[in-house]
Amino acid sequence: MGDEPALKAEHVGVAWAALALALALALPAAAGNGEAVKHALVRVTKIDGRITEKSLPLEKATDRVYRLKIPIKDITRDINTIDIIYADASACKGEAGYFVVSTGVLGTFREDKGRLEERRNPMPIFGMKTPRGAFVGIVKGLKYEFKTVVDVTHGVYTIFPRFLIKEMVFDPYEDLVIDFHALEENDANYSGMASAYRAYQLGRGEVTPLRERVKGNPQLAYSADTMFVRVKHGIKINKLKIEHQTSSNEPPVTVFKSFDDLMKIMKGLKALGVEKVEMCSVGWNSGGFDGRFPTLFPVEPAFGGAAKLREAIACAHGLGYQIVCHVCNTDFYTVSDRYDEYNVAKRSDGSLHKHGVLAGGRAYYPCFQQVDNVYIDDDYKGLADLGFKGTHHIDVTSCITPYPCFDPKHPCNRQQTADYMNQIGEKARRTFGGFGSEGPCDHVARTLDYALYVTAYPKWLGTPNPLIDRLIPLWQIAYHGIILSNPYYSTIDYNYPRESGDKPHTSLTQTTRRLKLYEFGGRPTFYFNPYTDLKPIKEAYDEYQPMKHLQYEFMDFHDEIAKDVFLTRYSDGSEVVSNYSGKAFRYKGRTIQAMDYKLIKPRFLGLF
Give the pTM: 0.94
Residues forming a β-bridge with 153: 156
DSSP annotation of 292 reads: S
Q: Residue 352: what pLDDT?
A: 99
Q: Residue 307: what pLDDT?
A: 99
Q: Residue 22: what pLDDT?
A: 52
Q: Residue 12: what pLDDT?
A: 46
Instruction: Say if residues 329 and 371 touch (Cβ distance below 8 Å).
Output: yes
Burial call 358-374: b when 16+ CB within 10 Å, e when fewer: bbbbbbbbbbbbbbbeb
Q: Residue 10: what pLDDT?
A: 38
Q: Residue 8: what pLDDT?
A: 44
Q: Residue 34: what pLDDT?
A: 52
Q: Residue 37: what pLDDT?
A: 79
CA–CA distance from 160 to each of 88, 345, 589 (Å)?
11, 31, 43
Q: Residue 327: what pLDDT?
A: 99
User: 3-state SS string over 320-332?
Assistant: CCEEEEEEECCCE
Q: Residue 462: what pLDDT?
A: 75
What domains appear along the chain, each with residue ranges and CATH number? 6-203 (no CATH), 214-233+259-328+368-554 (3.20.20.80), 561-604 (no CATH)
119: closest CA among 99, 145, 140, 141? 145
Q: Residue 35: what pLDDT?
A: 63
219: closest CA among 273, 168, 278, 261? 278
- Within a 13 Å sphere around the CA of 475, how many CA atoms are in the beta-carbon half? 27
40: closest CA among 173, 161, 195, 215? 161
Q: Residue 607: what pLDDT?
A: 46
pLDDT digits (tens, 9 = 90+) for 136-180: 999 999 999 999 999 999 999 999 999 999 999 999 999 999 999
Residues of the chain with pLDDT under 50: 2-15, 17-18, 24-31, 605-608
Q: Residue 7: what pLDDT?
A: 46
